[in-house]
Amino acid sequence: MKRIENVTFGGERPLFESHGLELDHVRIIDGESAIKECSDIICKNCHFEGKYPLWHVEGSEITHCYFAPSARSAIWYSNNMKMRDCVIDGPKFFREMKNLSLENVIINDADETFWGIDGLTIKNVVLHEGTYPFMHCNNIKVFGLDSDSKYVFQYCRNVEIHNARIETKDSFWEVEDVTIYDSVISGEYLGWHSKNLRLVNCHIAGEQPLCYAKNLVLENCTFDAECDRAFEYSSVQADIKGSIKSVKNPSSGLIVADGYGEIILDENIKAPANCKIVVRT
């Protein structure tokens, strides 16, 4: 493997079609597409400022690197990538990729980040700002996530999440086969139009959560005081620890809680309209 150390590159495609390359303390400044159509790339302690630096890269490890705001749309169409201990200040990272893993990564502008990823593992990742991270992603595993980005995890499939703090609205819309463990999810309109969404030991905050859901399951979950009109038109099996402000027109299933502020069953309820709502004794 060829090694390049303490060098600055600029211009367009300075390392185009490089294979078997280790970059250490390399700086990518102006220009575009510095590392494009490459394979077997290692980047350590590097600083990226130019646009689109890592496109169409097959097999890479990126550690202790920094991506400036100008390094927007930096990593697309690249497979089998591992990133660790990095800071990203640019938007629109990680598009149309397979087998991507991140550990101890801070993304300070998560706008339109993680789109169309198949096979994503993240550990101890922080997302700030931006909209629609994780759109149309499949086969995701999360072990530690702190996010205040808006509209996270929409149209995702086959997702497993542990120990997350997600503060947002319209999260987990139209997802399928998603399980969330030991997490806090705060924001309006959680999980609408989802299929096979399961929450275990989670705390839920925000208005009108979990409506229009199919095969929704909650196990040992708690709700904040403002969680009103939950489960509208949902088929649900819910074991709620504590009370919930209000439940409105669930279509089927069983809801068990320690108490209810209000149960709304009106003329707009949808068939089969046979959900059992029970107070735990």
Listed by start position, the domains of the chain span 1-90
Q: How many CB atoms lie within 10 A of CB 60?
A: 22
d(CA 107, CA 89): 6
The pTM (predicted TM-score) of the whole model is 0.95
- Residue among 68, 38, 37, 75 at smallest CA distance from 54: 75
* 250: preceding bond cis by omega (within 30 degrees): no
CA distances from 101 to 63, 83, 118, 266 (A): 12, 6, 11, 47
CA 117 to chain centre: 11
Q: What confidence score (pLDDT) does residue 191 get?
A: 97
- C-beta separation of 205 from 187 below 8 A: yes
At 281 the pLDDT is 84
The contacts found for 215-224 with CB under 8 angstroms, 24 or more apart, are 216/191, 216/253, 224/186
Cα–Cα distance list, 215 to 81, 87, 97, 173, 273 (Å):
34, 38, 30, 14, 15
CATH of 1-90, one of 2.60.120.380, 3.40.50.300, 1.10.3720.10, 2.160.20.80: 2.160.20.80
- Give Cα separations from 150 to 65, 167, 168, 209 (angstroms): 26, 8, 5, 16
Residue 30: what pLDDT? Answer: 87
Instruction: Render pLDDT for 95-123 as a digit per residue (tens, 0 to 9).
Output: 999 999 999 999 999 999 999 999 999 99
Contact 32, 50 (CB under 8 A): yes
Retrieve residue 146's tokens.
Answer: 């702190």
CA distance 28 to 23: 11
Give pLDDT, residue 98.
98
Distance CA(27)–CA(50), nearest Å, equals: 9
- Kind of pairing, strands 203-205 and 195-200? unpaired
Report the alpha-carbon distance of residue 92 to residue 53 in Å, rounded. Answer: 13
Please name the residues in contact with 270: beta carbons below 8 A apart, sequence gap of 6 or more: 233, 249, 251
Please report, in tens digits, the pLDDT of each residue of the chain (281 residues total). Answer: 899 999 999 999 999 999 999 999 999 998 899 999 999 999 999 999 999 999 999 999 999 999 999 999 999 999 999 999 999 999 999 999 999 999 999 999 999 999 999 999 999 999 999 999 999 999 999 999 999 999 999 999 999 999 999 999 899 999 999 999 999 999 999 999 999 999 999 999 999 999 999 999 999 999 999 899 999 999 999 999 999 999 999 999 999 999 999 999 999 999 999 999 999 98
Element (H, E) at 171: none
- Burial class of residue 131 (count of CB atoms within 10 Å of its CB; 0-12, 13-18, 19+): middle
